[in-house]
Structure 1
Amino acid sequence: MWKIRSASSKEDEILTSIAAESEAYWGYDEEFMEIYKIIYNVTPEIISENLAYVLEDEGDIIGFYVVIQEAYLGEVEYFYIKPRYMGKGYGRIMWEHMIDLCESFGILEIELVTSPQAKEFYINMGAVVVSEVLSQVNSRKIPKLRCEVLRKQKK
């Protein structure tokens, strides 16, 4: 049975590994991945200073996300799932948890930058492409998306 919980700063290496495995799924070459691992290294500080949560199933961490809060804006810095769990609904579970969490912290809007291959997932979750930005890993342009955190009607 799956559950979502706060990430521990001691899980930095596991989360970095999941991020790299997930990114490599899209077929990037070794040079790209070496630079990626340096830039997107998940540190204990990133985990402890931000909204960092893991999704685990039977004690195995299968995905995680990190949101950096800047007043009423949240920046989704990490949102990754192990490739063997992709397409099974876990991304939606994490997304919905993240949106609920952002709402509870007063975040009104989230932004994220993603690979072109993952863009459709975020669009299906309600995000819209607002621009393209240069990748931190190489000189290609990648999508930047924004999503309003929907306020639920209180009953």
Structure 2
Amino acid sequence: MLNIRRATACDWQLLSDIAYKSEAYWGYNSDYMEKFKSMYQVTEEFISHNETYVIEDHCSVFGFYGLLVNDKDSSLEYFFIEPQSIGKGYGKLLWNHLVNITCKSLGVHELVIVTSPQAKDFYIKLGANSLGEVESLLKKGRMIPQLSYKVHN
């Protein structure tokens, strides 16, 4: 049975693995992926202090998101789907949970999203707008999309 639940601190390794496999799906080289693994590891602390949710079916996790909310703005820090589950609708279900339940309950009006070029169209299709590009934290000189999504409360 499909379920979206709050992640627990003990999910950190599973979520880190999903993030790594999901990013590797796009064919990045090993140097890039090693940097990704060290910079984007999901920590117990992040899960404990931020809105982090998983989508699962019969205890198998297919994806997750992590939302960072502070006084200035809110940013989507993590949004990853298992590679074998990409294109099956799990991302859209997670997105709907993010904006219609989590953002609304927290009073979030706008999300900032920094993403890979491959995922940009997914967010645009769901209503995000391009803010331009920012430099990647993983590779100097590599520019990646920055988007904004207005949450309709």
Could you say which TM-score interval applies, normalised by the shorter chain? over 0.9
Equivalent position amino acid for 2:16 in 1: T
Taking a change above 3 Å as real, the CA distance of residues 72 and 125 of structure 1, as seen in their structure-2 partners, is: farther
Give the Å deviation of 1:58.
1.2
CA distance in 1, matches of 2:70, 2:111: 10
Q: Aligned with 1:121: secondary structure?
A: helix
What is the match of residue 133 of structure 1? 134
Count of paired positions:
151
- TM-score normalised by structure 2 residue count: 0.96
Runs of 4+ in 1 over 4 A off after TM superposition: none
Give the Å deviation of 1:57.
1.0
Give the Å deviation of 1:74.
1.7
CA distance in 2, matches of 1:13, 1:99: 25
Residues 72-125 of structure 1: CA deviation (Å, up to 9, x unaligned): 732100000001111111100000000021011100000110000110000011
What is the match of residue 108 of structure 2? 107
Q: Aligned with 1:97: secondary structure?
A: helix
- TM-score normalised by structure 1 residue count: 0.95
Question: Aligned match of 1:148 in 122, 133, 150?
Answer: 150
State whether residues 3 and 55 of structure 1, in contact with CA within 8 Å, keep that contact through their aligned partners in structure 2. Answer: yes
CA distance in 2, matches of 1:57, 1:8: 16
CA distance in 2, matches of 1:68, 1:84: 27
The percent identity for this pair of structures is 44
